[in-house]
Structure 1
Amino acid sequence: MTLIPYTLDEDDPRVSPMGLIVLQTDETLEPEFSSYFADRKYPIHVTRIPSGIEVTTDTLAEMEKALPAAADLLPKARPYRVVGYGCTSASSVIGSDRVAQMVKRTCNAAEVTNPLRAAVACAANQGVSKFALISPYIEDVNTPLRQAFAENGISTEVFGTFGESEEAKVVRISKASVVDAAIHLGLNPSVDAVFLSCTNLRTLEAIPEIQARINKPVLSSNQSLAWHMRSLNEAH
């Protein structure tokens, strides 16, 4: 064996990594983030968190206990400016502050966000507060989500759901179904934006088509989370 000498590159302090906690059952967030961050200069390190096959308030609440272990699996060589937790509905059940507390137990992160917190920030940035909410969830999951938006000053009186609890079906809801539902509710004159909830719902290609038809902002869990993580990262 030959012992080969080597040198080490210095980490660029301007290029801080971001962390992303993705549900075990999620098939959409990572591919869509690849598009949203195609121009990024900083790495995004991804870890997974155990999640139920079905989305219920019980399975969502259970993730609170698993957050520290999932965050602990992110590389620790450098601190994180931002870590995102990729679950809209669980964030409404657990609470954004509690999500941040649990992540920071094991991860050196300056900021922790999630799609709920991100959507509220994105709505404020765009000056909208009356959502037409499209969700895939069953009713006991929709209730805390709508309540969380209300507590943050966002109305979801115009609301529709696909009523699906099985994650493997949520990710396969067709683009046409998403577009049709969003246009139908988004054209309501009482709303000023559409929000497509759930990181596992495929929305990347649907958003431009919906916006062109209703001429209003269209936000999604993944789009909002990507925008907020980028904003927080670049604010430091």
Structure 2
Amino acid sequence: NANPYLVLEGKNLEGLQAYQNRPVDIWGTVETQNGQPGLKVERYEIPFPDLKFQILRGKQKVVTLEGQPATLFTTTDGQTYVQFSLGGGVDGSTVGNAGNEVLLEALIIPDESFGGYPALRVFSANMAISPKNGQPIELQVMSDQIPIYDEPSPGESVPPTATIERVELVYYMPDPRYLTGELSPDQRTLQPAWLFLGHYSDGSEFFILVQALKTEFLLPEIAPYTQPG
């Protein structure tokens, strides 16, 4: 679809605000004004008026379903779902490491399934336990609210300051599921790296990885580039 988002126009559309990010059946006509397509709404229906977002706790596992990578999410009460993205496509992403408990803000739409599993659409995700301090993390339902952004204040913007709270020596290797090239997974190189963890003055967290070896000691060596001709 070349235009996945359309501006809705019509009367009495305020009622749609109560169903932010949930399924809505809409009838109307696509019209273009000033080069921008919009949808002139004739009527709409809410197929699942009682559908609510949920915070689910469980574990993830990457598998292959119907020939493509997919993530299965098993809740603490033993129910297994296949993860979908917001738009309804199969989602192969995970949070943290294999075996970690995670929290999902999810929407389970009736009759959605794939590969023999019921589906859930993931709107946000986080670790259940903070790897930084070992404390439980709370995830709240936010996707049922229309986001409101403050207008930027006039004047020059000031970048946030950063505070480093912890430094660790770790071993880094790119996720082998997404690597391409001539080396097989068992030939990948583990590289020591410094991991810097901290937060910005606006409250958001960050991490930075810096190699802990000099360039001449990194393996495998990269072959020099030879121009064709």
Q: TM-score range by the shorter chain?
A: under 0.3
TM-score (norm. length: structure 1): 0.22
TM-score (norm. length: structure 2): 0.23
- By relative contact order (CA 8 Å, sep 6+), the higher-ranking structure is 1
Larger radius of gyration: 2
Structure with greater strand percent: 2
